[in-house]
Structure 1
Amino acid sequence: MNLYRQPGFRSLALLLTIVTVYVTYGYFNFYRDPLSIFFSEEHGFDRFYSATRQAEADAFLDALEANPDAVRLRLAKAGPKPEMCVVFMTIARELEGRQYIETAVGSFFSNMSRAERKAIHLKLFFADVPSPETQHRSYARLATADIADDIITYPRSLPDKDKERQMALLESWFKARNDGSMIERKTVYDYAYALRQCVQTTEAPYIALFEDDIILADGWAVRTLKNLHTVEEMMRDPRRHDPAPGRVEPGGPNSWLYLRMFNQERSFGWGGGYGFRSNNVHLISLAVSAALLAFILLGRRLFFPRSLARYLDSWVLLVICGVAVPLFIWLFFASGKASLLGSPPGVYEEFFGCCSQALVFNRKHAQALSDFLMAATTKPGRAGRGDMLPKDFAWDHGLARVSAYPMLAQHLGRISATGTTTFEAGRIWSMAFENLKAHKLANEHVKLIKELFGQEEVREMTTLG
């Protein structure tokens, strides 16, 4: 008997060939997905677009240092009716050279048009206590540069009647920042205070809170404004309704809390691990194999041509239903959701997601959210995390949470301000951000400026460079 002529052997050989090709492809293409078996610790966090964007941010900062008057003249400040109030929250870190906040601000401004600048009120919130002027290395440089619309510090902005007590409380939390509970309280308070500052000092309908260790993509401002307009259109859909608290389903709420500008692939779902039982692969495989086996047996008897049916012997069925189906289903999950499915461009309701690096809030709920966060800092035990508490607020109030793709922010921080280890901080990372292409973003930036602000703004943008 010639083994190579047996249908079962041929099907097994074909299966091994397909798997070998797939594994080879996955090794070279899925190595940056942290939920993939092909993930590489060595190269998974290699920088591509973020390195390009940092160079652009550095070029802006260099120009600002060389000729601050020219930069200020080109960009000016926010207009009288900004669409968005942006707060960069920062505290001092032990870094050599340029600080995170400087790079973040450089990416905020780099390639920005004057029309975008007029639409955005920028606040820099130095949250160190008691003296950010002396504690934070970037304070003097950014204050002197005079490119922000407002610089916030606790000593300068707390109400006089309660300042002494509040400063004492904030200093106690700040001094005990090695205690996870204390740094949580301080961080949550900072978020609440930043929201409140935008509500009290501007009429902007959108409030963005940015952490200082991010970098923003080219055209982030106009694209975010467009995404926010899309969110408003989504909420006007007559099929939406006012859900009962705690029953927030996609397509249900008629109001929204925040738009997410950063997410990590580890939060994209099915993170159950690589085992055969994870994500119920064993049950899915059993169901698919049983259904496929029944179909083949029925087809072989009733409607498959005899030329095909004679090859579907017991060994072939074993390879297909007993080996191939479970293996392919396991590989599907183990390869990683981000690698196989990714996230198509657009604006979507998403109730999963990680982190608070870059969120844009709906002003309608900002004051209530600020009060909610403030209250969390006074309750016994842990205050809660700055990214989880807004989710709880949204759930309790029946508010949608929305994400926009592609993600327009990347987290570059390795030295955490909240006690996160360097290892874990480095893993808060967007693989998709690194896939962005500079030339494509630049072209889309110009198109969106024309769409939202008009051709004259494009002409001014290209003239001013």
Structure 2
Amino acid sequence: MLIWRSAIRVVLATLVAALLFICYGKTHFYRDPGSVFYDRSRAFERTYSLHREVEAKEYIRTLQAAEGAGDGPTAADLGAAHVKAGVKPAICGIFSTVKRDGEQYVETAIASLLHGLTPAERADIHLSILFAHTNSTAHPSLKQTWLLRAIDSAHTYTDSLDPDTISHLRQLEETRNFAEKGVFDYIHALKQCYNTQTPYIAMLEDDILFADGWLVRSLLGLRRIEAATTTSTGKEKETTKPWLYMRLFNQERSTGWANKRVFGNNEHWIILAIAAVILTPTFLIQRRRRRHLHRFRFQSLHPQLPRHKSPKHPTSPPPKTTTTTTILSLTLLTLPTFIILFFQAGKASMLPPRPGVVREAFGCCSQAMVFPRERVGGVMAFLEQRGKGQVDLLLNDLVREWEGEGGYGKKGLDAWALYPVQVQHVGSQSVRGTTKKEAQAVWSMAFEDLKADKLRREHKEMVGRYYV
């Protein structure tokens, strides 16, 4: 009876713990598309991105007010907008933008990028825009004086392209050939930033929002990547493994488990392996205990016999103990239950990335990527060779196919990602003609869980650490 009580206690405890886990998952993991608790009706609720959008639009109103004469906003009100890039900025960031129906996302994107930057940070970025229209006046944002004053440079096709190329681009616009025009625009924007001579180039899509402190966090991340990929030999530095980009945006759909089905991630083998590790020594110890117990009982019943004549094996098995029953119950019920729940809860929920930079060859989308200057020539050549396609997929191909340059003997490039994600995609109108549902699916659940007060404190601390 005592044995059964032990098993019943384990069963009840497992059920209670599993129910508590399920309740927690329903309230905390509903954003994770790789989780069984995913709830699409709540997953796209905006929290931090809405906070940043409100800040960005308020900042735009402040910048617009500064255009008037008389008493207007002070330099403190304008923040980074009254400062331009320094003599040697660390990053050139460029938006490639096209006209949208209705709201022009690029305006809030730029405002969120600038809002909160310190003067030292603003001096570290050359901010640029490519208005990717053959008729550049078609883009309403080109008429926004506050925007042109806030950035460092603006580019149109007519600035540097010959009439034949512009004519070809006009044909691509008319036929909605986004696969080819998107690649052309990416190359053209890269060239504009490449000419600024900055060590890093950030390629930015126009329908995004930035987190508070994104720039200094990115600079610290780049510093860590350089430290991890270079070795010092005397006065010279040697690159151990070249890298292509640091990603500022990622979505949980791209970083989850390989399979969402129960036992789709080899859970059964994991359960068997852990059970074997637990049960094998348990049975060995129990067997040895039984043998010693039987010998002890035999010696007690036959004290006149010498010890070496006592039987080596028990003639009948001793009763099971509560310890054995508990271990069996835990192994056969509790262990499988929580391993299955662990995987079903979703990788992004159970194993979220630690803050910092990580090597990550997989990921989604090209919303915000930072390239080292020495890779940009190879990127442009590769994209020109391919000619058309989705830029993020082409870059993934380049990561795998890179054959090396300048003495590098290793095939392939490293790809890095910065966490927590510093950018959110908010555009519901895709310029590629995809549906609203598909455009919204490019979404970082983790971005919405960021806390404004915490980021503000971290931003101040990181600025003090980086600009010493």
1:52 is matched by which residue type in structure 2?
H
Count of residues in Structure 1 that have an aligned counterpart in Structure 2:
421
In the TM superposition, residue 319 of structure 1 has moved relative to its aligned partner by: 4.0
In the TM superposition, residue 91 of structure 1 has moved relative to its aligned partner by: 1.0
In the TM superposition, residue 237 of structure 1 has moved relative to its aligned partner by: 3.6
Look up the SS of the partner of 2:24 in the other structure. Answer: helix
Deviates more, 1:317-326 or 1:74-83: 317-326
1:300 equivalent in structure 2: 286
Assess if the C-alpha contact under 8 Å between 1:290 and 1:321 holds in 2.
Answer: no
Q: Of residues 92, 103, 107 in structure 2, which corresponds to 1:102?
A: 107
Counting only pairs closer than 5 Å after superposition, residues 310-325 of structure 1 correspond to structure 2 as 310-312=321-323, 319-325=329-335
1:79 is matched by which residue type in structure 2?
G
2:201 equivalent in structure 1: 207
Deviates more, 1:285-294 or 1:54-63: 285-294
2:84 equivalent in structure 1: 77
TM-score, normalising length: structure 1? 0.84
1:115 aligns with 2:120: yes
Q: Return the alpha-carbon distance in structure 2 between the equivalents of residues 67 and 390 of structure 1.
A: 41
1:49 equivalent in structure 2: 48
TM-score, normalising length: structure 2? 0.83
1:28 equivalent in structure 2: 27
Cα deviations across residues 134-181 of structure 1 (Å, max 9, x unaligned)?
2x22221157642211111112221xxxx222122222222222xxxx
Unpaired runs of 5+ residues, structure 1, are 240-251, 378-382, 455-465
Moved over 6 A (4+): none
Pairwise CA RMSD of aligned residues?
2.6
1:387 aligns with 2:392: yes
1:168 equivalent in structure 2: 167
Q: Return the alpha-carbon distance in structure 2 between the equivalents of residues 144 and 40 of structure 1.
A: 38
Look up the SS of the partner of 2:391 in the other structure. Answer: coil
Assess if the C-alpha contact under 8 Å between 1:72 and 1:147 holds in 2.
Answer: no
In the TM superposition, residue 74 of structure 1 has moved relative to its aligned partner by: 5.8
Cα deviations across residues 435-464 of structure 1 (Å, max 9, x unaligned)?
22212222222222223334xxxxxxxxxx
Counting only pairs closer than 5 Å after superposition, residues 118-197 of structure 1 correspond to structure 2 as 118-128=123-133, 130-134=134-138, 136-141=139-144, 145-158=148-161, 163-177=162-176, 182-197=177-192
Residues 223/303 of structure 1: CA separation in 2 closer, same or farther (3 Å cut)? farther
Look up the SS of the partner of 1:138 in the other structure. Answer: helix
Q: Of residues 239, 248, 261 in structure 1, which corresponds to 2:248?
A: 261
Cα deviations across residues 13-51 of structure 1 (Å, max 9, x unaligned)?
222111111111111111111111111111112112111
Q: Return the alpha-carbon distance in structure 2 between the equivalents of residues 78 and 123 of structure 1.
A: 10
Look up the SS of the partner of 2:129 in the other structure. Answer: strand
Assess if the C-alpha contact under 8 Å between 1:123 and 1:151 holds in 2.
Answer: yes
Q: Of residues 442, 445, 449 in structure 1, which corresponds to 2:459?
A: 445
1:249 equivalent in structure 2: none
Unpaired runs of 5+ residues, structure 2, are 234-238, 294-318, 403-411
Assess if the C-alpha contact under 8 Å between 1:68 and 1:145 holds in 2.
Answer: no
Q: Return the alpha-carbon distance in structure 2 between the equivalents of residues 342 and 229 of structure 1.
A: 22
1:347 aligns with 2:352: no
1:209 is matched by which residue type in structure 2?
M
1:157 is matched by which residue type in structure 2?
S
Cα deviations across residues 49-95 of structure 1 (Å, max 9, x unaligned)?
11111111111101011113754996222122211110011111112
1:278 is matched by which residue type in structure 2?
G
Residues 400/238 of structure 1: CA separation in 2 closer, same or farther (3 Å cut)? farther
1:444 is matched by which residue type in structure 2?
E
1:290 equivalent in structure 2: 276
In the TM superposition, residue 255 of structure 1 has moved relative to its aligned partner by: 2.1
Deviates more, 1:294-303 or 1:81-90: 294-303
- Which structure's CA Rg is the greater one? 2
Residues 5/54 of structure 1: CA separation in 2 closer, same or farther (3 Å cut)? same
Cα deviations across residues 260-295 of structure 1 (Å, max 9, x unaligned)?
11111111141311x223111222223333333323
2:296 equivalent in structure 1: none
1:277 equivalent in structure 2: 263
Residues 430/225 of structure 1: CA separation in 2 closer, same or farther (3 Å cut)? same
Q: Return the alpha-carbon distance in structure 2 between the equivalents of residues 115 and 238 of structure 1.
A: 29
Counting only pairs closer than 5 Å after superposition, residues 402-421 of structure 1 correspond to structure 2 as 402-421=416-435
Assess if the C-alpha contact under 8 Å between 2:95 and 2:128 holds in 1.
Answer: yes
In the TM superposition, residue 425 of structure 1 has moved relative to its aligned partner by: 1.7
1:224 equivalent in structure 2: 218
Look up the SS of the partner of 1:13 in the other structure. Answer: helix
Residues 332/352 of structure 1: CA separation in 2 closer, same or farther (3 Å cut)? same
Identical-pair percentage: 38
Q: Return the alpha-carbon distance in structure 1 between the equivalents of residues 24 and 394 of structure 2.
A: 40
Q: Return the alpha-carbon distance in structure 1 between the equivalents of residues 51 and 434 of structure 2.
A: 27
Assess if the C-alpha contact under 8 Å between 1:82 and 1:121 holds in 2.
Answer: yes
Deviates more, 1:66-75 or 1:401-410: 66-75
Residues 312/122 of structure 1: CA separation in 2 closer, same or farther (3 Å cut)? same
